[in-house]
Amino acid sequence: MMKYLLFFIAISLAIYSCDSTKSAMKGDPNSSMTENDTVRIANDSLEYEILIIEPGFNSWLVTQQPRGYYGLNYLENKNQLFVSEYNARVRNPQRYSPNLYPQEINYNYNADYGYEVNYLLYNYFVYFQQRYNQHLPGGRR
């Protein structure tokens, strides 16, 4: 059975895409709707899959530092911090909204996910913080 690394992204972003659609229909200048704005990375031999379904993510991603700008070690360290904090917030629904933090991320710190997965995950966390006005320790302001 294939394990789904970061399957929460698909679920949570599907929920937020409804809210993003409402913002776009209201004329929110910060909301940019893009057709087919889904990023999928899968590797059956390592049994992981990442789905990022977020209107506007792809157009935002092209404005960020290009692949290769950050080293793999940097991205892995940042993702470990972000995933750890994100999961702590999932476990504390009295303080953090279950709508923003619906499900823990299954990120194995000892697995070698490679550069592309770490690059996209890191950038998703940066996007998440900006889009939903959240601050995760180690994140940009």
Please name the residues in contact with 59: beta carbons below 8 A apart, sequence gap of 6 or more.
Answer: 32, 34, 37
Q: Which of 3-7, 76-80, 110-114, 115-119 has the lowest mean pLDDT?
A: 3-7
Measuring CA to CA, how many Å separate 54 from each of 4, 14, 79? 18, 7, 19
Percent of the chain at pLDDT > 70 equals 63
> Cβ–Cβ contacts within 10 Å for residue 87, how many?
17
- In the predicted model, is pLDDT for residue 37 greater than 80? no
Mean pLDDT of 83-111: 92
Question: What is residue 51's DSSP assignment?
Answer: E
The answer to whether residue 47 scores a pLDDT higher than 90 is no
Q: Looking at residue 14, what is its pLDDT?
A: 40
